[in-house]
Amino acid sequence: MSDRSAVIYYYDGSYAGFLSCVFESYAEKEMPAAILDAHAVDQISMFSAKYINTDDTRAERVKNSIPLKLGPEAQELLEKAFHTCLPNREMHMLRFMRLGYQVGHSVCRRMTDPRVDILLKAVKHLERESHLYLGLVRFSECGKVLIAEIEPKNSVLPMIAPHFLNRYSGEDFMIFDRTHKAALVYRDGRPEALYADRIRFPPASPEEYRYRAMWRTFYDTIGIESRRNEACRRNHMPKRYWRTMTEVQHLV
């Protein structure tokens, strides 16, 4: 397989679509110059372009080969890496997979190899941000539905979904990811993923505004002025999260 190619792969942005690109790379014995989401790219390239249609059969073959040849740890790493904000993540994942098909189950233990190291660091960043959002999601009551908005760097919804589906199993709710234009919707006991550039939410009720005011008052009241440490607060609750947090969004 050539290490260089003058072709760019475009795909539909799904994980199955990415795996179809991996199959194409091996079938055609070529290493693409880039693998890009066709919906998120608008620049003109000097490379020749190839749109890779998502083929579920091919994607399943690649998916099944990962735990067998690279190991379950590599499978989990790749599935999480796909949700990171790592630039050119698809190419980094493909390089990792090429290495894994060569060395087998030891691939994740080769932490000094840059092809492994970059994915490990990206996934660690995803996991850290996902953990933060377990405590930073703020719901508002709009009609009979709880609605929250988030602005993560990584695509954290798949990571945090099990927590909120379990915690709010008796409620209808939505978490909208402004960054990735994706939403987790839970209604009538069924979860669903939706994608939209913008969602128009119903207005919050007067009672909701009263609860927001009460929550801000509680947040300000429990603070001890002599122990106020803005640097520590920003460390545990970075300001980029504040725009969607009831208690501090008015300070942004």
Taking only the tens place, the pLDDT of each residue in 3-28 is 556 899 999 999 999 999 999 999 99
Q: Is position 214 within any domain?
A: yes
To 10 degrees, the CA torsion angle through 24, 45, 14, 81?
90
Domain that holds residue 216: 137-251
Residue 209: inside a domain = yes
Q: Could you report the per-residue pLDDT of 33-62, keeping only the tens digit for each?
A: 999 998 876 655 667 889 999 999 999 999
Number of structural domains in the chain: 2
**151 and 107 belong to one structural domain:** no
Same domain, 167 and 195: yes
pLDDT exceeds 80 at position 236: no
Q: Decide if 136 contacts 245 (C-beta within 8 A).
A: yes
Look at residues 83, 105, 127 and tell me which one is the last residue of a structural domain: 127
**Helices marked H in the chain:** 15-27, 56-65, 72-81, 89-103, 114-136, 157-167, 206-222, 230-236
Q: Are 76 and 114 members of one domain?
A: yes
pLDDT at 45: 64
Mean pLDDT, rounded, for 76-103: 98
216 domain-assigned: yes
| 160 and 59 in a common domain | no
Distance in Å from the first CA to the final CA of the chain: 51
Q: Determine, yes or no, domain membership for 32.
A: yes
Parallel, antiparallel, or unpaired: how do β-strands 145-150 and 140-142 relate? Answer: antiparallel
| Range list of β-strands (E), the chain | 7-11, 34-37, 48-51, 140-142, 145-150, 173-177, 182-187, 190-195
Q: Which amino acid is at 58?
A: R
Check if the beta carbon of residue 70 is closer than 8 Å to that of residue 103.
no
- Using the 3D structure, point to which of 127, 147, 178 is the last residue of a domain: 127
179 in a structural domain: yes
Shared domain check, 155 and 99: no
The residue among 208 and 179 whose pLDDT is bigger is 179
Instruction: Quote the tokens at residue 132.
Output: 């933060």
Of how many residues is the chain composed? 252
